[in-house]
């Protein structure tokens, strides 16, 4: 059985590309780029709370870093360095090798140097601290949304939750939607290029980790504004709608921008080859208030309070998925199969 030091040397030490001193000393040395602010974020993933014991280790390794990269994207930051603290039960070297493989795949994809960490025996848990850089004063924050701004979301939010529902046999997905949903669940693609492109365009941004409505709620609260959401092709009530509105775990970007730059945002979608959907507008209503309309503009829920059970029902505390999981509404019951190829924000 390898020692702690052999584990670190064998699995968590790789050449760095932009670090003064990496793994191996009492501390790492990094040289911040002059004129940039550093953005720092930490996420802790605990077995039994954020992921299940039988989770594929390579996917978990990817996701452990990816959820942190997503926070950098939401700040408009370029991710640069990370540390990894790992608590591991009796070393299972095959498991650790796969985990490290997934972790370094993600690090290589986003140009991140792993510069240190800590390794200890214990119930399986991983804590990543990530450091990014942003030109001074240019970070995207949650608090800048203004009445009249458009509300946008990237990609196909809800797919990760739908993939989890399939694995939990709460629905049956057909191809090609199944593959797309499982990819969203296991290998989320943090939207760093979008975050960088949104500097100077977006008025507020957040990554969708807890669900569209919940995360939009954070923007509304911090910006002291309200919103009217009119999501194109909103799925009918049921699992699909719940996944889209409250599923989370997709790590898409939800952002606001002045309606005068709607065309610039739409042009970004083509440039980045990433769907960007305008899903509503910020209004001057009571701070935090949110109304949801259907395609015809008819209000279908009076306020975000109608979705309060999404906030409190289980996902934050229960074993509902790799990070947050999805809520299960009281009325949900047995779901009918979801078509594999459909229009709308979840579809192809």
Binding residues for Mg ion, per CB under 5 A? Answer: 118
**Least distance from ligand ADP to the Cβ atom of residue 116, Å:** 3
Residues 6+ apart with CB under 8 A from 56: 98, 186
12 binds ligand ADP per the rule CB under 6 A:
yes
Contact status: 114 vs ligand ADP (CB under 6 A)? yes
- C-beta of 49: minimal distance to Mg ion in Å? 23
In the bound complex, what is the minimum distance in angstroms from residue 278's beta carbon to ligand ADP?
41
8's contact among Mg ion, ligand ADP, none, with CB below 5 to 8 A by partner kind, is: ligand ADP
| Distance separating alpha carbons of residues 266 and 260, to the nearest angstrom | 12
Nearer to ligand ADP (CB atom), residue 28 or residue 164: 28
Q: Which does 26 bind (CB under 5 to 8 A by kind): ligand ADP, Mg ion, none?
A: ligand ADP
Question: How is residue 44 written in tokens?
Answer: 């802790």
Smallest distance from the beta carbon of 57 to ligand ADP, in angstroms? 14
Could you say whether residue 117 binds ligand ADP (CB under 6 A)? yes
Alpha-carbon dihedral sign for residues 267, 144, 326, 68 = positive
135 vs 52: CA distance, rounded Å: 38
Nearer to ligand ADP, 4 or 341 (CB): 4
Helix, strand, coil percentages for the chain (3-state, nearest 5)? 30, 25, 45
The phi, psi pair for 165, rounded to 5°, reads: -60, -35
Sign of the C-alpha dihedral computed for residues 310, 315, 318 and 319 taken in this order = positive
Q: Least distance from C-beta 29 to Mg ion, angstroms?
A: 17
User: Per rule CB under 6 A, is residue 107 in the interface with ligand ADP?
Assistant: no
Q: In what side-by-side order are the strands of the sheet with 299-301?
A: 202-207, 253-257, 150-154, 276-283, 226-230, 290-293, 299-301
β-bridge partners, 293: 230, 299
Q: Which residue is nearest to Mg ion (CB)?
A: 118
> Which tokens sit at 330?
């009281």
129 contributes a contact to ligand ADP by CB under 6 A:
no
Select the binding partner of residue 302 from ligand ADP, Mg ion, none (C-beta < 5 to 8 A, by kind).
none
Cβ nearer to Mg ion, comparing 44 with 108: 44
Residue 32 main-chain phi, psi, to 5 deg = -60, 145
Footprint of ligand ADP on residues 18-47 (CB under 6 A)? 23-26
Cα separation, 191 vs 214, in Å, equals: 19
Question: Which residues, including other chains, have CB under 8 Å from residue 144's CB and lie 6 or more apart?
Answer: 202, 203, 204, 223, 256
Complex with ligand ADP: residue 24 or 287, whichever CB lies closer:
24
**Closer Cβ to Mg ion, 6 or 118, answer by number:** 118
Among 57, 76, 79, 116, binds ligand ADP (CB under 6 A): 116
Nearer to ligand ADP, 50 or 166 (CB): 50
Considering only CA atoms, which of 269, 266, 254 is closest in space to residue 140?
Answer: 254
- Using CB under 6 A as the binding rule, the residues of this chain from 76 to 95 that contact ligand ADP are 84, 86
Q: Quick one: 117 or 322, whose CB is closer to ligand ADP?
A: 117
The residues that touch ligand ADP, with contacts defined as CB under 6 A, are: 8, 12, 23-26, 84, 86, 114, 116-119
């Amino acid at each position: 059985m390898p020692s702690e030091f052999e584990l670190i040397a064998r699995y968590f030490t790789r050449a760095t590309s932009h670090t003064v001193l990496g793994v191996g000393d009492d501390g790492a040395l990094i040289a911040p780029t002059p004129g940039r602010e550093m953005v720092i974020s930490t996420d802790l993933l605990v077995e039994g709370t954020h992921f299940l014991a039988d989770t594929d280790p390579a996917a978990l390794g990817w996701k452990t870093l990816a959820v942190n990269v997503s926070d950098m994207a939401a700040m408009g930051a370029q991710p640069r360095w990370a540390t990894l603290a790992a608590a591991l039960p009796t070393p299972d070297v095959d498991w650790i090798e796969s985990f490290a493989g997934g972790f370094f795949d993600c690090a290589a994809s986003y140009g991140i140097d792993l510069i240190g960490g800590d390794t200890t025996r214990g119930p399986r848990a991983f804590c990543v601290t990530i450091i990014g850089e942003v030109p001074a004063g240019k970070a995207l924050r949650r608090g800048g949304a203004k009445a009249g701004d458009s509300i946008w979301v990237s990609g196909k939010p809800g797919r990760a939750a739908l993939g989890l529902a399939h694995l939990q046999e709460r629905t049956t997905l057909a191809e090609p939607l199944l593959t797309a949903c499982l990819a969203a669940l296991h290998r989320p693609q943090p939207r760093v290029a979008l975050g960088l492109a949104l500097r100077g365009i977006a008025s507020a941004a957040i990554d969708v980790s807890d669900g569209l409505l919940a995360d939009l709620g954070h923007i509304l609260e911090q910006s002291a504004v309200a919103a009217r959401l009119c999501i194109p092709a909103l799925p009918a009530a049921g699992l699909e709608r719940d996944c889209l509105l409250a599923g989370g775990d997709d790590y898409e970007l939800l952002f606001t921008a002045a309606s005068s730059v709607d065309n610039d945002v739409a042009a970004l979608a083509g440039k980045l080859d990433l769907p960007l959907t305008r899903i509503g507008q910020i209004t001057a209503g009571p701070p935090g208030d949110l109304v949801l309309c259907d395609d015809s503009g008819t209000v279908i829920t009076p306020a975000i309070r109608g979705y309060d059970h999404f906030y409190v029902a289980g996902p934050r505390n229960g074993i509902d998925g790799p990070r947050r999981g999805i809520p299960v509404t009281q009325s949900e019951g047995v779901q009918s199969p979801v078509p594999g190829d459909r229009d709308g924000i979840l579809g192809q």
